[in-house]
Structure 1
Amino acid sequence: MVLEEKINAFVLLGEFMKQFSSNEYKKNENLPFNDLYFDTCKTLIDQSVSHNGWFTKDQVLFSFGSWSEALVKENIEKWLSAYDLSNESLKTIGLILAGNIPLVGFHDVIAVLVSGNKALIKLSSNDQKLLPLLLRYLTEVAPDFKERITITEEKFDSFDAVIATGSNNTSRYFEYYFNKVPNIIRKNRNSVAVLTGEESQQQLEALGEDIFRYYGLGCRNVSKLFVPQGYDFTSFFEAMYAYREVIEYEKYANNYDYNKAVFLMSNYSILDNGFLTIREDKNHASPISSVFYEYYTDIKEVEQRLNADKEHIQCVVSDQLKEKSIPFGTTQKPALWDYADDVDTLKFLLNL
């Protein structure tokens, strides 16, 4: 396949997904093969929560909307401009996908296909419906992809490289099982925010998006705050009030009640607003419905700490306090060139 064919196919896929980026589905009558897939996709989205209780409709729509914004021609061409994609090696790349948030492994699939390789995909049991449908649409608009995509429920037995995403525990298995082939093994990571106390209400509300989107289940969700010594959390909690409806979702509410009870029984000192607890803790990974915080006296301390812990951190959010930090409210809208764990997946694939 020539590169232009691939780009055009992904642009069409983005346009297909755009139809499902808000509660008011907007069917694009000019989109090829739309009649074959529109109603099926609509039904899958409406029923997603029955397949995975965390995949509520609004969370799936957000994911579709984010991907539709990413998969426009300008963004795809900008992403690919840094690489030589003139050759196709057609190597088989095993992909073990996570399922903590909707379509979390989608970027790996796209990278494999656009690099001229074959994708051998093992889906997470928590996300088995949406991606296969999108790939069926993709192979409809670009039939050459059909021989390059395989979804399997079996163990991989023939592959040239592997990209596997899982927990710290499963990563040990991955590292052992796949140690004879080139691989990218992703482990648990968390995201942090660095505050000064000078943030605007708008910035803090945007931070709430980084905390609550996908109910905090993603590695790009902020689970830890670095705040100056003596920080007053009043403005922070006032900004978080915009997300109070999160407690109305039963699964989140159950986690909130359970984790709050554990904190109180453990005699932890916590701050609580009725749907979010925060407590002082040096760890980066906090439970659902909770955010940890840590005081600092000098921003250089935070810089040193983040550099030391970089293997455990996915994103740093701040008002330009740290190099490569990202603005508040943007963690769950990564660009195509924002690679997980800061590992250039496309470069890895092209160098096989």
Structure 2
Amino acid sequence: MHLDLFYPIYFNQPQIASKRIHRLFNFLLSSGYVDFTPINFSDSLGTFHHANFSSRIDYVWSCPLLKSFLLTLAIFDVRDLDFSDYNPVITFYDCSFLHFSIKLARTYQLKWRFHRIFLLDSITPSQWDDFSTHVDKLCNISPTLFASWHINRILYSSIFPTVPVLPLVLSSCWADNFNALFDTLSQSSKSLRGLHLLIEKEFQDSSIKTFIDSRDSNFDTDISSFINSALSRSRRRIVLDRVFINHPTTPRLLTNPKDISDAVVNHFQNAVPIKSAPPSHISALPDRWRSAYSPIDAVSFDIYDSLLSSPSLEEWLSTVSSMPNGKAPGPSIITYKMLKHLGPATNSLLLILIRKCFASADIPDL
């Protein structure tokens, strides 16, 4: 049975799908396996050929662990080589992400806690000089152009200067060097993942800015909406369809919506009278509180003006040089010792990134 015919049975008639005749398809779909159709641009190209007869594999099944790392799969024509009656179906996976996922899965399974430590004590001064020179060559970017980029593009621009283009060899399903093709596809996959993260972050930033602008506008035009937004509070209302005014001489039952609204507003405005008004100035406070709230003459008004000022290059280098060695790096896998051996070009670009973090109150996504 063709898989397209089995899908309606699997989803709508589970009793029939579990029968022996459908056992293979039922097991694969129930276990989370996913089918992929190989790229085949020729109707006559099959996975098996002999004389004038040919057949083909319509589906390649992938287990749940591997399906997220599949790049592409294709049928390669090897009939001209005359060494087999079978055309191989080659599936390409992103091995870097796959290996990383397997390690994490194994770690979680064994409930291990781990961190990565770099032993840099054996590196000679000349090797550090080579490291500094090499990193400066990689950072051959104009500081003015670098400063104009988005805070996340600063990190991702070196990964994908342009949108990656798949190699032309895929259109013909023929390649002599599979390792080179695999490396190209892996690099394209990483670039697309980075591009996706950047676009997602830019959309998130624009959405946040839109809501902030809306909140600022509500502060001037709709203070109630501003308070609800600032407190993340949803508006709750009680609908009254009648109000009874228990007046000693003229009691009334209100049913008109406008009369009900006016009576409710009048009640809450006058039922609890305000006995005192808040002081308009510190001088109007009692002596006990006036001395507590009055400014202290010994404290300068501009004491906090430079608190969030962007650091200078000397201040940044001094801070980095005071950091201890031998500490485990964060998600960026960059150690303090690496930062201490950066060249002047890289340090100037890194300072631009640090200043943008201060100015935007944000850090790049790694």
| Shorter-chain TM-score above 0.5 | no
Larger Rg: 2
TM-score, normalised with respect to structure 1: 0.16
Structure with more of its chain in strand, by fraction: 1
Q: TM-score w.r.t. structure 2 length?
A: 0.16
